[in-house]
């Protein structure tokens, strides 16, 4: 296989990661410190990697990935990065999917403990999901030479995989990383399905898949990450975690160096020295900070002619001209030539997911690591995660945890026998909690390689008086890079303990938060992108609007015609023409989006009396009434008309964007406070479509379309409803007006909406208009729009609508609050009109109202109110705006400045009803 | 994400529900007799305990019905779920 790195071709073998291919090719310097610019190389073979990140250029690309986590494929192209990735300019065309899983037992981690747990739970008949982030199951066994049940580890892992696959309720998923552990055993995982296939990836397959998992029980067998030790010049290429070095040698078949020094604080480091020696690396020195080391290990090394220097540390390193390690300086004063320094300070159990779940950790002296303590959810921990070291113990813990989980899930369990283990050295001497070799050159003692943060930075933080590890993290930025502190977190706690003389337990860790590894926005979005991000609602007449050149406006999820420009007409010109037609002739609008709720039952009138500020129970059949709804706090939440169609049948209309909310509001009161009321509510917004006919000549048009209907002022008065055929189609017609003009709302079943609309349009010279004209017409009449002219702090009285608040009803929702001191203030913000003094300038919606001539450059400038709606009024011949103004009702005539973006426009406060204040036009 | 037991539909994901705040805060029988301080308490003041809390939920993406849940505000454990109008069960 050929791969390309920074334009240079390299060979790779099947099973290689990008990192192992680079190492085999002898590439040592692969990155540089983001602030220091110092050369950096691989420090690990896995998810702990904090130095070598690349941008993937082939396939779907990816801006920033660890080299240790990229599976090599023929044609892989990457660019090395110094610190930060680059987002590509092209859109991501790959497909991303989501899937959902429900399982009795979820096992996280496919290493020895996870395999045993899955087997124990699976054999009980439980539904089991085993998730592993690697391409192959086995975890740390993949780099081990132990004999399990008489089999080489690879064969044992294969046999385990076969046994699991034979169980019908067990699912095994590889290349899948659990990134979040949330409440009630809800976990999220990322499955990488095609990244390793290169050009062989099937085009129909989703690249990544997001797993949403709800598990009855969770077994965490997440293993551990190796911890380094900080010392002077510990960042040179060639300095690597010891078990990563052995993984390169034994799993990937590439020698991590020719001549090695091993430096450690536990028997595991000595085991790594044995593995390196057996892999053909010359082990020049083994330094152990402890005075007592495991006898088995010392003997194994002695058999290979290697002695262990106890109580010894690394005091520094030397580099060649490229910055690559060439020698190690020891505390004994020796200079040992070496191109590999394998470091192992101990194991950090991978408690990230456990901590995310709410579980607490504690510092275990025996394990020299933070290990899980009490679980907060149905969680079972097993293996190296718990601080276990020997493989035999790990296997038996796994089987135990799997059995315990299946039992907790209600199944009968026979725990499988623990496999025998041969060829494993036994851990004999306690590990040391050792983190940092003190040095005068403390600015080269790196604690967080990715943030280039050092012992010096931590000392400064402590010197500045910081004691909490969370504060020190933020002060030094240690643990905030893309590796999220996997390499540096516990190390920093250890350094802090050394500097401050406090214990590890006392300091504790920083908080672990999801995601465990980065997750892309493209995956979170899945297929909910572009037009599929949110539903689009269109009326039954929508296609006609499109054909007639409507410009659309989004209102909630609805697409509504905004205005209907003629060729070469601007928006202002179109709106002026549409307004003029409505005021002087006849115009029509599609009002199908208005929320419509049908209410049935004997107690509808009673319910409406309790929820509207005015009286509804007295409404006669065939009549319509306008109402305002308030919350218990007295603030307006909606308005609209309600018709009584029959004794027990009513039809309520709501603001377009408020329909679902108001239906829920009705249901909430009916279900929780007044379940005794006989009322049923149904949303019928989509079932009915409404054509609004507006203008002094609209009666003529309706008479023509509905010859059987008496359209006279006496026969069809304002605020009544009639049933009649319109253009031969059964229709409900309401005489209501949102413009002040004579107007009719013609409602038909949505199937007939287009036919009725076209019939109305054909009935004469009728101008279709959109929402902008509707707004101008209603603003000229001072009709507020809930949510535009109100903001949840406005009472009906503030809107000048005290007339709609019943004095007679003993109670309705909101009434008690009108007597509150704050609600009764006379200087509350009240609805007013404002017109520009110059008669020309249209003020911006949202503009602040300040005293006329206020010096804006000398804050604070007192705000008196703000503009809520602003239009050019055709009827008035000038711009006109609605505004909420402190004590506005008593300030008509006053001149103020409307300020927008530093620009002041002088405006005069006027009545909010500048047009036809006496309402003489509504009868035509 | 919580797994909430709807009394009518069974256990479902939290994303199907909307939250309704503290339970058992009834609309006063006669608000006109409630003094300003108590009315402000009804409108604006709710308990915020560390521990077990009775709260309202509505199964918006399901049966659209309101119900009450007893939930622990530290562990998020849910110990009871019951219809509106019934009293808080004697659990936890």
How far is the C-alpha of A811 from the C-alpha of B29, rounded, in Å? 10
Based on the number of CB atoms within 10 Å of its own CB, is A792 exposed (0-12), middle (13-18) or buried (19 or more)?
exposed
Residue A508: inside a domain, yes or no? no
Residue A705's CATH number: 3.30.1360.120
Residue A884: inside a domain, yes or no? yes
Specify the pLDDT at position A137: 97
Residue A791: inside a domain, yes or no? no
Contact between chains at A214 and B65 (C-beta distance less than 8 A): no
Instruction: Please state, rounded to an integer, the average pLDDT across all residues of chain A.
Output: 95
pLDDT at A168 over 90: yes
Q: A837 CB near a chain B CB, below 8 Å?
A: no
Residues A676 and A696 in one domain: no
Residue A427: inside a domain, yes or no? no
Specify the pLDDT at position A549: 97
Q: A660 CB near a chain B CB, below 8 Å?
A: no
* Nearest-by-Cβ selection for A673 from B3, B27, B42: B27
Q: What is the pLDDT of residues A190-202, one digit of tens each?
A: 999 999 998 888 9
Beta strands in A411-570 (DSSP E): 421-422, 446-448, 453-454, 551-555, 558-563
Residues A584 and A694 in one domain: yes
Q: What is the pLDDT of residues A808-833, one digit of tens each?
A: 999 999 999 999 999 999 999 999 99
> Of A628, A662, A683, which marks where a domain is finished?
A683
Min Cα separation B39/chain A (Å): 8
Q: Which one of B34, B76, B87 would you mutate to disrupt binding with A, by most A Cβ within 10 Å of its Cβ?
A: B76
Beta strands in A548-647 (DSSP E): 551-555, 558-563, 587-590, 595-600, 624-630, 636-646
> So what's the ipTM on this one?
0.97
Q: Are A777 and A738 in contact (CB under 8 A)?
A: yes
Q: What is the pLDDT of residues A756-778, one digit of tens each?
A: 999 999 998 899 999 999 999 99
Specify the pLDDT at position A924: 82
**Average pLDDT in the A684-692 region?**
96
Residue A803: inside a domain, yes or no? no
Residue A448's CATH number: 1.10.10.1100
CA A560 → CA A226, A644, A741, A811, A888, distances in Å?
Answer: 60, 28, 22, 38, 33
**Average pLDDT in the A239-260 region?**
96
Is the previous residue joined to A860 through a cis bond, with omega within 30 degrees of 0? yes
Query: Strand A636-646 vs strand A649-654: parallel, antiparallel, or unpaired?
Result: antiparallel
Min Cα separation A182/chain B (Å): 6
Q: What is the pLDDT of residues A401-429, one digit of tens each?
A: 999 999 999 999 999 999 999 988 877 89
Residues A498 and A639 in one domain: no
> Of A393, A422, A451, which marks where a domain is finished?
A422
Based on the number of CB atoms within 10 Å of its own CB, is A839 exposed (0-12), middle (13-18) or buried (19 or more)?
exposed
How far is the C-alpha of A883 from the C-alpha of A891, rounded, in Å? 12
pLDDT at A8 over 70: yes
Q: What is the pLDDT of residues A303-336, one digit of tens each?
A: 999 999 999 999 999 999 999 999 999 999 999 9
Specify the pLDDT at position A692: 97
Residue A46: inside a domain, yes or no? yes
Contact between chains at A182 and B1 (C-beta distance less than 8 A): yes
DSSP state of A431: P
Contact between chains at B85 and A672 (C-beta distance less than 8 A): yes
Tell me the torsion sign for CA atoms A811, A814, A818, A821. Answer: positive
Q: B27 CB near a chain A CB, below 8 Å?
A: yes
Q: B19 CB near a chain A CB, below 8 Å?
A: no
CB interface of B with A, residues 31-90, below 8 Å: 31-32, 34, 36, 39-40, 42-44, 56, 58, 60, 64-66, 75-76, 84-85
Residue A359's CATH number: 3.50.50.60
Specify the pLDDT at position B5: 97
Residue A262: inside a domain, yes or no? yes
Backbone angles phi, psi at A866, to 5 degrees: -150, 155
Residues A340 and A356 in one domain: no
How far is the C-alpha of A628 from the C-alpha of A640, rounded, in Å? 7
Segments forming the whole domain that contains residue A447:
435-502
Q: What is the pLDDT of residues A782-817, one digit of tens each?
A: 999 999 999 999 999 999 999 999 999 999 999 999
Q: A673 CB near a chain B CB, below 8 Å?
A: yes
Q: A659-672 and A604-611 are packed helices; what angle lies between their axes, rounded to 10 degrees?
A: 110
Specify the pLDDT at position A428: 83
Nearest chain B residue to A359 by CA: give it: B75
Residues A108 and A190 in one domain: yes
Query: Strand A379-381 vs strand A128-131: parallel, antiparallel, or unpaired?
Result: unpaired
Min Cα separation B50/chain A (Å): 16
Specify the pLDDT at position A923: 87
Contact between chains at A811 and B31 (C-beta distance less than 8 A): yes
Collect all residues of chain B within an 8 Å Cβ-Cβ radius of residue A633: 43-44
Collect all residues of chain B within an 8 Å Cβ-Cβ radius of residue A360: none
Specify the pLDDT at position A487: 85
How far is the C-alpha of B27 from the C-alpha of A644, rounded, in Å? 28
Specify the pLDDT at position A399: 97
Contact partners, residue A34, CB within 8 Å, separation at least 6: A82, A83, A84, A450, A451, A452
**Average pLDDT in the A295-301 region?**
95
Contact between chains at A664 and B60 (C-beta distance less than 8 A): yes
Q: Are A758 and A768 in contact (CB under 8 A)?
A: no
pLDDT at B92 over 70: no
* Nearest-by-Cβ selection for B84 from A182, A184, A671: A671
Backbone angles phi, psi at A208, to 5 degrees: -125, 155
Q: What is the pLDDT of residues A533-567, one digit of tens each?
A: 999 999 999 999 999 999 999 998 999 999 999 99
> Of A38, A53, A88, which marks where a domain is finished?
A88
Q: Residue A914's pLDDT band (boundaries 50, 70, 90)?
A: confident
Q: A528 CB near a chain B CB, below 8 Å?
A: no
Collect all residues of chain A within an 8 Å Cβ-Cβ radius of residue B1: 182-184, 186
Q: Which residue has the tokens 């996997």?
A: A486
Based on the number of CB atoms within 10 Å of its own CB, is B30 exposed (0-12), middle (13-18) or buried (19 or more)?
exposed
Q: Are A880 and A914 in contact (CB under 8 A)?
A: yes
Residues A217 and A355 in one domain: yes
Q: Count CB atoms within 10 A of the CB of residue A306.
A: 20
Q: A–B: how many Cβ contacts below 8 A?
A: 60
* Nearest-by-Cβ selection for A675 from B20, B60, B85: B85
Q: From the centroid of its chain, how far is CA A695?
A: 49
* Nearest-by-Cβ selection for B43 from A358, A633, A811: A633
pLDDT at A875 over 90: no
Q: What is the pLDDT of residues A45-61, one digit of tens each?
A: 999 999 999 999 998 88
Specify the pLDDT at position A46: 92
Collect all residues of chain B within an 8 Å Cβ-Cβ radius of residue A672: 56, 66, 84-85
Query: Strand A743-749 vs strand A848-851: parallel, antiparallel, or unpaired?
Result: unpaired
Q: What is the pLDDT of residues B46-63, one digit of tens each?
A: 999 999 999 999 999 999
Collect all residues of chain A within an 8 Å Cβ-Cβ radius of residue B27: 632, 673, 813
Specify the pLDDT at position A60: 84
Residues A108 and A209 in one domain: yes
- Biggest alpha carbon–alpha carbon distance for chain B: 42
Residue A636's CATH number: 3.30.70.1400
Q: Residue A524's pLDDT band (boundaries 50, 70, 90)?
A: very high
Residues A759 and A830 in one domain: no
Q: Count CB atoms within 10 A of the CB of residue A589.
A: 27
Residue A673: inside a domain, yes or no? yes
Q: Are A571 and A772 in contact (CB under 8 A)?
A: yes
DSSP state of A710: -
Domains of chain B by start residue, with CATH: 3-27+40-82 (3.30.2270.10)
CA A508 → CA A347, A369, A736, A821, distances in Å?
Answer: 16, 11, 69, 51
Residues A128 and A2 in one domain: no
Residues A265 and A317 in one domain: yes
Query: Strand A558-563 vs strand A680-683: parallel, antiparallel, or unpaired?
Result: unpaired
Domain count, chain A: 7
Reading the block at residue A886, the tokens are: 């402190």
Contact partners, residue A759, CB within 8 Å, separation at least 6: A705, A726, A727, A729
Residues A448 and A548 in one domain: no
Q: Residue A285's pLDDT band (boundaries 50, 70, 90)?
A: very high
Element (H, E) at A672: helix A659-672
Q: What is the pLDDT of residues B21-55, one digit of tens each?
A: 999 999 999 999 999 999 999 999 999 999 999 99
Specify the pLDDT at position A859: 87
pLDDT at A143 over 90: no
Residues A575 and A696 in one domain: yes
% of chain A at pLDDT higher than 90: 90
């Amino acid at each position: 296989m050929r791969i390309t790195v920074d334009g240079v071709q390299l060979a790779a073998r099947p099973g290689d990661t990008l990192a192992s291919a680079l190492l085999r090719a002898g590439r040592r310097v692969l990155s540089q410190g983001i602030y220091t610019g110092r050369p950096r190389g691989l420090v690990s073979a896995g998810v702990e990697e904090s130095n070598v990140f690349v941008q993937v250029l082939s396939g779907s690309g990816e801006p920033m990935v660890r080299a240790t986590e990229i599976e090599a494929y023929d044609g892989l192209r990457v660019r090395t990065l110094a610190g930060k990735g680059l987002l590509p300019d092209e859109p991501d065309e790959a497909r991303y999917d989501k899937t959902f899983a429900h399982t009795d037992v979820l096992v996280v981690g496919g290493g020895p403990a996870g395999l045993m747990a899955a087997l124990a739970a699976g054999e009980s008949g439980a539904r089991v999901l085993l998730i592993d982030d690697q391409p192959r199951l086995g975890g740390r066994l993949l780099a081990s030479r132990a004999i399990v049940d008489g089999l080489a580890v690879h064969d044992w892992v294969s046999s385990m995989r076969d046994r699991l696959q034979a169980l019908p309720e067990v699912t095994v998923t590889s290349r899948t990383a659990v990134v979040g552990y949330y409440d009630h055993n809800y976990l999220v995982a990322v499955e990488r399905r095609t990244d390793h296939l290169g050009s062989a990836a099937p085009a129909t397959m989703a690249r990544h898949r997001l797993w949403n998992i709800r598990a009855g029980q969770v077994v965490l067998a997440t293993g551990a990450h190796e911890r380094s030790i900080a010392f002077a010049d510990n960042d040179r290429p060639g300095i690597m975690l010891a078990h990563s070095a052995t993984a390169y040698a034994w799993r990937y078949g590439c020698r991590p160096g020719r001549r090695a020094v091993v430096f450690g604080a536990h028997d595991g480091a000595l085991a790594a020295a044995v593995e390196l020696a057996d892999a053909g690396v010359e082990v020049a020195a083994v330094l152990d900070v402890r005075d007592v080391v495991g006898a088995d290990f010392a003997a194994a090394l002695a058999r290979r002619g290697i002695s262990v220097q106890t109580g010894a540390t690394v005091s520094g390193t030397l580099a060649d001209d490229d910055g690559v390690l060439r020698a190690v300086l020891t505390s004994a004063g020796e200079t040992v030539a070496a191109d590999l320094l394998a470091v192992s300070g101990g194991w950090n159990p991978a408690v990230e997911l456990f901590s995310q779940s709410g579980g607490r950790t504690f510092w275990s002296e025996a394990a020299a690591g933070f290990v899980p303590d009490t679980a907060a959810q149905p969680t079972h921990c097993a293996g190296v995660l718990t601080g276990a070291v020997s493989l035999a113990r790990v296997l038996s813990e796994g089987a135990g945890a799997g059995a315990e989980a299946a039992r907790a899930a209600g199944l009968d369990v026979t725990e499988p026998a623990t496999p025998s283990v041969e060829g494993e050295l036994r851990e004999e001497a306690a590990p040391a909690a050792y983190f940092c070799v003190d040095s005068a050159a403390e600015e080269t003692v790196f604690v967080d390689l990715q943030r280039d943060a050092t012992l010096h930075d931590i000392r400064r933080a402590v010197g500045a008086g910081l004691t909490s590890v969370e504060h020190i993290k933020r002060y030094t930025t240690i643990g905030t890079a893309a590796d999220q502190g996997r390499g540096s977190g516990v190390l920093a706690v250890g350094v802090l303990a050394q500097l401050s003389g406090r214990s590890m337990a006392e300091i504790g860790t920083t908080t672990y938060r999801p995601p465990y590894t980065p997750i892309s926005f493209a995956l979170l979005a899945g297929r909910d992108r572009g037009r599929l991000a949110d539903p689009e609602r269109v009326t039954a007449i929508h296609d006609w609007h499109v054909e007639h050149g409507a410009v659309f406006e989004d209102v909630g999820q609805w697409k509504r015609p905004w205005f209907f420009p003629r060729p070469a007409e601007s928006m202002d010109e179109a709106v002026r023409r549409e307004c003029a037609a409505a005021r002087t002739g006849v115009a029509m609008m599609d009002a199908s989006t208005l929320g419509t709720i049908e209410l049935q039952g004997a107690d509808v009138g009673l319910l409406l009396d309790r929820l509207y500020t005015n009286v509804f129970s007295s409404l006669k059949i065939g009549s319509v009434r306008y109402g305002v709804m308030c919350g218990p706090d007295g603030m307006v939440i909606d308005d609209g008309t309600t018709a009584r169609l029959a004794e027990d049948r009513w039809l309520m209309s709501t603001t377009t964007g408020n329909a679902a909310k108001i239906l829920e509001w009705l249901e909430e009161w009916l279900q929780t406070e007044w379940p005794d009321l006989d009322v049923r509510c149904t949303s019928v917004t989509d079932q009915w479509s409404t054509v609004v006919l507006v203008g002094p000549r609209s009666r003529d048009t309706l008479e023509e379309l509905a010859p059987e209907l008496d359209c006279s002022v006496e026969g069809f008065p304002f605020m009544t409803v009639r049933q009649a055929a319109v253009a031969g189609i059964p229709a409900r017609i309401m005489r209501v007006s949102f413009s002040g003009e004579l107007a009719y709302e013609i409602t038909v079943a949505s199937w007939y909406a287009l036919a009725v609309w076209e019939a109305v349009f054909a009935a004469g010279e009728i101008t279709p208009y959109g929402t902008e004209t509707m707004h101008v017409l209603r603003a000229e009449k001072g009709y507020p729009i809930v949510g535009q002219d109100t903001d949840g702090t406005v009472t009906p009285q503030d809107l000048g609508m005290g007339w709609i608040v019943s004095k007679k009803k003993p109670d309705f929702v909101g009434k008690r609050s009108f007597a509150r001191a704050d609600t009764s203030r006379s200087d509350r913000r009240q609805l007013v009109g404002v017109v520009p003094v110059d008669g020309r300038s249209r003020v911006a919606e949202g503009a602040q109202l300040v005293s006329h001539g206020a010096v804006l450059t000398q804050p604070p400038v007192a705000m008196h109110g703000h503009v809520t709606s602003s239009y050019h009024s055709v009827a008035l011949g000038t711009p006109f705006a609605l505004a909420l103004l402190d004590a506005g009702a008593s300030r008509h005539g006053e001149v103020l400045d409307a300020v927008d973006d530093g620009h002041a426009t002088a405006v005069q406060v006027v009545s909010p009803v500048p047009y036809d204040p006496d309402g003489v036009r509504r009868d035509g | 994400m919580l797994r909430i037991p709807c009394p009518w539909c069974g256990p479902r994901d939290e994303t199907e529900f909307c939250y309704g705040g503290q339970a058992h805060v009834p609309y006063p029988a006669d608000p006109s007799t409630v003094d300003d301080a108590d009315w402000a308490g009804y409108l604006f003041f709710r308990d915020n305990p560390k521990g077990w809390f009775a709260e309202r939920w509505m199964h918006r993406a399901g049966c659209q019905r309101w119900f009450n849940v007893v939930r622990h505000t530290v562990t998020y454990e849910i110990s009871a779920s019951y219809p509106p109008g019934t009293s808080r069960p004697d659990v936890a």
